[in-house]
Amino acid sequence: MNQHVIRAVGLNKKYGNFHAVKTLNLELDEGDVFGFIGPNGAGKTTTMRMLATLLDPTSGEAYVCGHSIYKRPREIRRLVGYMPDFFGVYDDMKVIEYLEFFAATYRIPSEKRLDICESVLDLVDLTFKRDSLANTLSRGQTQRLGLARVLVHDPQVLLLDEPASGLDPRARIKIRELIKRLRDMGKTIMVSSHILPELADICNKIGIIERGELIVNEKVSEVMQRIRSAPVLKISVRDDLDRAGRCIESEAIVDRIETDQQGLTVYLNPGIDDYSSLAKVLIEGGFALERFQEEEMNLETAFMLLTQGISA
């Protein structure tokens, strides 16, 4: 059996009486892209810092590329690229100088440093800013420079904490494309966000963390398979939407109904594959149907279904 690239066993972190991470278990294999999802303060950063050997757990154990975070932290740091959600750049230092400085800290031979730094600049599409001062970059460019910095030593594992935080839509797209390129290069990536759609199309595994507890930890394909058994309908009628909802809410196949300006969102019970009876009830009730269709299942829909009653 292949060794897991990341393996956490009963990982805990407490600050006094506050439990930041509670008995977290996690296994990631080579090439996995793990979307770590949860609101601010849920425990994402604390988990990543423990895996990066920057924060000691209160209890539990974790291994990165087979090395214990307690016994072999130096080896782990050579294999991991950790990008925090916010970081500073040095004043009066050019972009290329900034990267060469970090390449030197990783003891990359001087004769190789420049070529490596030029290569990662090209990867993150910042070659045109090579000779600009690092502190003059835009927020999006600074995030890409931060990603370049953690790539100079060619790490096997990337821990990216909210890499698209505070970026405009165009910059967010660039970061997503970069992560896809790194995925295609075979990197094992753990990327956190409190905004699910940022991760929906780049991950093969997702974890949802709430108040320090990992409440969902599955392959995306397994999540999608699980929620397909409980269809969700989008229904809109010409008049009196609230009355339409009341008209069908007592039907046996209906689990619950939510109403907004766009219409009714009808959550059916698991195992239902024929819901034509609802259309019949509405028509016989005198409603003119404008929309009656099953909602396309995506990762965002899965998140809402899986965390119903759990997620804050």
Quick: pLDDT tens for 215-247: 888 888 787 776 666 788 999 999 899 999 999
- At residue 81, the pLDDT reads 95
Taking residues 166-187, what's their average pLDDT?
89
pLDDT tens by residue, 106-135: 999 999 999 999 999 999 999 999 999 998
Domains, in order of start, for the chain? 6-225 (3.40.50.300), 232-294 (3.30.70.100)
Give which of 114, 74, 80 is closest to 97, Cα–Cα: 114
State how far the Cα of 293 lies from the Cα of 262, in Å rounded to an integer.
13
Predicted TM-score (pTM) of the model is 0.78
Q: How many residues does the chain have?
A: 312
User: Parallel, antiparallel, or unpaired for β 263-268 and 254-260?
Assistant: antiparallel
Give which of 193, 200, 195 is closest to 161, Cα–Cα: 193
